[in-house]
Amino acid sequence: MIRKYRNFFFQFLIRTRYEDKTTVITVADNGSGFKISDDSEPHIALSNIQQRLEMMCNGKLTVMPGENGGTTVKITIPDR
């Protein structure tokens, strides 16, 4: 999906796939991204999502900077 915002075309991609008995959901965008810092607290919403994924289905949430800027979020949920 592409959306224009202040003379900038914001794009994001949502991809789901099934591999090795695991569902993988990836969401990536081309926004301004973020810097990983050792001294910063994780965002409360992301922390809550991560805790719930682990508790409910042994899932995992990974947030990382995109290759060319932006952010990529990956959720993995193993089969039960």
Query: Which range is least confidently modeled, 20-24, 32-36, 38-42?
Result: 38-42
pTM score: 0.75
| Domain range for 48 | 2-78
Which of the four pLDDT bands, split at 50, 70 and 90, describes residue 56? very high
In the predicted model, what is the mean pLDDT of residues 34-59?
79
In the predicted model, what is the mean pLDDT of residues 9-27?
92
Task: Report the domain count for the chain.
Answer: 1
Q: Find the CATH number of the domain harbouring 47.
A: 3.30.565.10
Residue recorded with tokens 């900038």: 8
